[in-house]
Amino acid sequence: MKELLKEKLAKQFTTVQFEFIEQFDELTLKFDKSAIVNVCAFLKDEDGLKFNFCEDVTAVDWATRKKRFTVVYHIFSMENKFRLCLKVDLDDSECSIESVSSIWKAANWAEREAYDMYGITFLNHPDLRRMYMPEDFEYHPLRKEFPLMGIPGSVPLPKK
Amino acid sequence: MQKLTKDNVHPKIVQALLGADSNITIEDALENEMILNMGPQHPATHGVLRLLLRLDGETVIACVPELGYLHRGYEKMAENMSYLEFIPHTDRLDYISPPANNVAYALAVEKLAGIIAPPRAQYIRMLLAELARMCSHLVAIGALAMDVGALTVFLWGLREREKILDFFDVICGARFTTSYTRIGGVASDVTSDTMRNIITFINQFEEKIDEMERLLNGNRIFVERLEGVGVISKDDAIDIGFTGPNLRASGVAFDLRRATPYLFYNEMDFKIPVYTEGDCLARYFVRADELRESAKIIRQVIDKMPNGEVMLNSPKKVLPRKIEIYTKMEELIHDFMIVNFGINPPVGEVYHAVENPKGELGFYIVSKGEGHPWKMKIRSPSFANIQAIPHLVKGQMISDVVAIVGSIDPIMGEADK
Amino acid sequence: MGLESKLTNDGFFTTTIDALASWARENSVWPMPMGISCCAIEMMAVGDPKYDIARFGSEVMRFTPRQCDLMIVAGTVTYKMAHVVKKIFDQMPEPKWVIAMGACTSSGGMYRSYNVVQGIDQFLPVDVYAAGCPPRPENLLNALMQIQEKIGKTRVKDFPDAQQSGFDTKPTDLSLSKN
């Protein structure tokens, strides 16, 4: 399955640079963010690959690297019983990426959660609102500079 | 009353509700639409889930769920505590079946650390995971029946569940939030007396399921209230992220215990119940059948249980036994290091998913080689299942909304993390 | 408070009616289950056939605040949920009592994080704290019995709006028995 994947991707996307990492029996694919929608659509529809199930979309905050965020997609192919992890690096200054919710509906809420927690904007997302925190909350909790106990006064409490 | 329009005064969630794409057109509509707030505190929502419904009379045109009322900040807390300290927190994710979450977490961290628990520990984990599955499905069926109006089944289900919780009490020390698994094994052993009692319980359990099914399956009100309600097709179900019994009720024969086997499930003989209708009644049937399959698995596990240790003997990664800590020097040092600085898994990332009673529970752990994870993401099944609610309730009546939420069986503890 | 507001002095007849009303109130405490997370499951377990709460008089767990007198806050209260809990507490008619069930409501519990209120007594007046994570059903029944003891000792003059009707203002000793 891994060879088939590498072969098909190399044939279809000649301009995109793919990096394959294998660790703990899992395959990770790293590439540039401009190709995300095309690669995902290809992975979903192509015969032999058929990654029809998007398990999760999340992000990692590296805090000290230049490319501060990494958006991580976990997708699964039910036919071939194969799991793939896609990774895209983002800069802190322009942390926005195309949304894949047009390809997998399951990515819709996961991207909203990534926006709420990290502040990564997903372009062309049908409904980008905050997921967990109140709508007028100003910060993004899972960024590394946000303290664990929160910022006092950021969420109001009812009076006794 | 004039038709509600979008403007800058309403908060974003109401704007999302008013703008929600809906293909429901009703002739002879009333002149006005209504926004109904099925608020976070409601006897029928399974926890604190807020549903905003846009209604035309009694028909639902659009629905927007709002989460976050139980967001406790698990992922941020996980970045600040060691892997062992996080185990009690995993209990409170899917709080109807805590041992299942413990097993899932322990498997993910063990994959990262590169250790494998001894066989007896793995069989005990399977035993607990299946008992937890029975707990969860009993409550799910009971709550669904209670939402629809059949109150007796809920109390019968809880009565059986109390017997299972007694087993948890004896094995794990706590009846409810067990925190039983450790990295490298389980906390303590299971005696053969307990296993004999579990077999006695299972022997009388199958007729209790029959009793409950006799009450419900032939009940015309129950069947008519659930049949044809909240139908989702096979492709839609996979696309929208359904997992677990909800997916299997739409005709997809997908179970992580068979697709990506973990523990010793590939040596157990059990069926995966699949129904094709995709409505609430099919989801109920899948859960009832899974109760029987879990009973079968438990019998086989107890039959095949090997002898041996329950904690791996790897002092750098696994907490040593108390006897050795008190008498030997290296184990004392290792215990000190593991408790204070955490097990230090290698640098890397891992995603491991198991078949929880509600669906696929996955842990994505990024480690930088320190004692605490750099990032932990919990892929909870209820989060993805609730996402389907707006799709399922379009065009149904208000009372169907309650039945649909009950049949999907969300638990807000894991949906909100 | 109906009949009792007509009683203005501490004669024998009125204190007997007072005691009778308190006895009736303590043996029919209808809880309002504010079930938010894991403690709600233990609260459901208190209602099941093994740890029956109906034998204590709490026959019905009404989910509407207007018909209850005891609110059992069961589960972690986050900042977003705190407004909802307060709104529902305000809708309950007097006299009302609150049990803070579990560690999360008493003090924030094991969640020392940005979204969890560290103890609901920051915005609600709590009468009894039940410790545990979650408290065993027997523990919740103990908390209920302590509330019943407290209600049994409460007299009309302790209720908030009784102060304005001209009762003598020395409050009853509501400290619970030492056990």
In this prediction, residue C9 has a pLDDT band, given cuts at 50, 70 and 90, of low
C114/A159 CB distance under 8 A: no
Q: Is residue C11 a part of any domain in this protein? A: no
Q: Does residue B9 register a pLDDT over 70?
A: no
Q: Which residues 27-46 of A have a C-beta within 8 angstroms of C?
A: none
In this prediction, residue C3 has a pLDDT band, given cuts at 50, 70 and 90, of low
Q: Best interface-test mutation with B: which of C34, C38, C73 has the largest number of B CBs within 10 A? A: C38
Chain mean pLDDT for chain B: 87
B311: CB partners within 8 A, 6+ apart: B117, B118, B121, B182, B184, B185, B186, B318, B319, B321
Q: Does residue B25 register a pLDDT over 80?
A: no
Instruction: Give the pLDDT score at B2.
Output: 43
Instruction: Give the pLDDT score at A14.
Output: 81
Chain mean pLDDT for chain C: 82
C105 touching chain B per CB within 8 A = no
Mean pLDDT computed over C1-28: 73
Q: Is residue C56 a part of any domain in this protein? A: yes
Q: Does residue C146 register a pLDDT over 50?
A: yes
Nearest to A24 among B111, B238, B260 (CB): B111
Q: Does residue B87 register a pLDDT over 80?
A: yes
Instruction: Give the pLDDT score at C164.
Output: 56
Contacts C86 to A, Cβ<8 Å: 158
A51 and A44 Cβ atoms separated by less than 8 Å: yes
Nearest CA in chain C to B41: C34
Q: Is residue C1 a part of any domain in this protein? A: no
Nearest to C48 among B71, B92, B158 (CB): B158
Q: Is residue A77 a part of any domain in this protein? A: yes
Instruction: Give the pLDDT score at C163.
Output: 53
Q: Is residue C123 a part of any domain in this protein? A: yes
- Which DSSP helix (H) or strand (E) runs through C135? none
Q: Does residue B88 register a pLDDT over 60?
A: yes
Give the tens place of pLDDT for each residue, A37-52. Answer: 888 888 888 888 888 8
- DSSP tag of C65: G
Here the CATH number for the domain that contains residue C126 is 3.40.50.12280
Instruction: Give the pLDDT score at C171.
Output: 58
Q: What is the pTM of this model?
A: 0.89
Q: What domains sit in chain B, N to C, each tagged with a CATH number?
A: 74-114+117-311+345-415 (1.10.645.10)
C114/A146 CB distance under 8 A: yes
Higher pLDDT, B5 or B137: B137
Q: Which residues 20-79 of C have a C-beta within 8 angstroms of B?
A: 34-38, 40-42, 44-45, 47-50, 63, 75-76, 78
Nearest CA in chain A to B108: A24
Mean pLDDT computed over B47-68: 88
- Tell me which of B15-19, B216-220, C93-97 is least confident: B15-19
Query: How close, in Å, is residue A150 to chain C by CA atoms?
Result: 4
Instruction: Give the pLDDT score at A156.
Output: 80
Q: Is residue A55 a part of any domain in this protein? A: yes
Nearest CA in chain C to A156: C79
Count structural domains, chain A: 1
Instruction: Give the pLDDT score at B1.
Output: 37
Q: Is residue C24 a part of any domain in this protein? A: no
- Which DSSP helix (H) or strand (E) runs through A77? strand A69-77
- DSSP tag of B332: H
Give the tens place of pLDDT for each residue, B134-166. Answer: 999 999 999 999 888 888 898 899 899 999 999
Range of the domain at A72: 2-123
Contacts C123 to A, Cβ<8 Å: 157-160
Cα A140 vs. chain centroid, distance in angstroms? 16
Task: Report d(CA A102, CA A125) in Å as an integer.
Answer: 8
Nearest CA in chain C to A155: C79
Nearest CA in chain C to A133: C80
B118 and B104 Cβ atoms separated by less than 8 Å: no
- Tell me which of B14-28, B51-65, B97-111, B268-282 is least confident: B14-28
Task: Report d(CA C104, CA C73) in Å as an integer.
Answer: 10
Instruction: Give the pLDDT score at B28.
Output: 57
Q: Is residue C2 a part of any domain in this protein? A: no
Task: Report d(CA C128, CA C151) in Å as an integer.
Answer: 12
C113/A149 CB distance under 8 A: yes
Higher pLDDT, B316 or A143: A143
C117/A157 CB distance under 8 A: yes
B155/C48 CB distance under 8 A: yes
Tell me which residue of A101, A56, A108 sits closest to A83, measured CA to CA. Answer: A56
Contacts A61 to B, Cβ<8 Å: 375
Strand B359-367 versus strand B375-379 pairing type: antiparallel
A52: CB partners within 8 A, 6+ apart: A44, A77, A78, A79, A104, B238, B239
- DSSP tag of B8: S
Task: Report d(CA A85, CA C72) in Å as an integer.
Answer: 45
Mean pLDDT computed over B293-302: 92
Tell me which residue of B388, B93, B144, B402 sits closest to B288, measured CA to CA. Answer: B144
Q: Is residue A129 a part of any domain in this protein? A: no
Query: How close, in Å, is residue C132 to chain A by CA atoms?
Result: 23
Count structural domains, chain C: 1
Instruction: Give the pLDDT score at B31.
Output: 65
- Which DSSP helix (H) or strand (E) runs through C89? helix C79-91
Give the tens place of pLDDT for each residue, B200-220. Answer: 999 999 999 999 999 888 889
Q: Best interface-test mutation with B: which of A30, A56, A83, A136 has the largest number of B CBs within 10 A? A: A56
| Residue B167, both tokens | 């087993």
Task: Report d(CA A95, CA B344) in Å as an integer.
Answer: 31
Q: Is residue A128 a part of any domain in this protein? A: no
Instruction: Give the pLDDT score at B299.
Output: 93
Written as one string, the DSSP assignment of B105-140 is HHHHHHHHHT----HHHHHHHHHHHHHHHHHHHHHH
B391: CB partners within 8 A, 6+ apart: B232, B236, B240
Q: Does residue A79 register a pLDDT over 80?
A: yes
Q: What percent of chain A has pLDDT over 70?
A: 100
| Residue B240, both tokens | 């929208």
Instruction: Give the pLDDT score at B375.
Output: 92
Contacts C112 to A, Cβ<8 Å: 148-149
Cα distances (Å, whole numbers) of residue B186 to A155, B136, B300, B367: 40, 21, 20, 23
Here the CATH number for the domain that contains residue A96 is 3.30.460.80
Nearest CA in chain B to A80: B259
Q: Is residue C13 a part of any domain in this protein? A: no
Contacts B77 to A, Cβ<8 Å: 148
Tell me which residue of B201, B77, B229, B64 sits closest to B144, measured CA to CA. Answer: B229
B375/A60 CB distance under 8 A: yes
Whether a cis peptide bond, with omega within 30° of 0, leads into C135 is no
C37/B47 CB distance under 8 A: yes
In this prediction, residue B8 has a pLDDT band, given cuts at 50, 70 and 90, of low
Mean pLDDT computed over A125-143: 87
E strands, chain C, are 31-35, 70-74, 97-101, 128-130
Q: Is residue C101 a part of any domain in this protein? A: yes
Q: What percent of chain B has pLDDT over 90?
A: 36
Higher pLDDT, B27 or C91: C91
Range of the domain at C43: 30-154
Task: Report d(CA B15, CA B8) in Å as an integer.
Answer: 9
B215 SS3 class: helix
Residue position matching structure tokens 């089944």: B153
Give the tens place of pLDDT for each residue, B109-132. Answer: 999 988 899 999 999 999 999 999
A118 and A130 Cβ atoms separated by less than 8 Å: no
In this prediction, residue B199 has a pLDDT band, given cuts at 50, 70 and 90, of very high
Instruction: Give the pLDDT score at B288.
Output: 92
Nearest CA in chain A to C117: A157
Strand A82-90 versus strand A26-31 pairing type: parallel
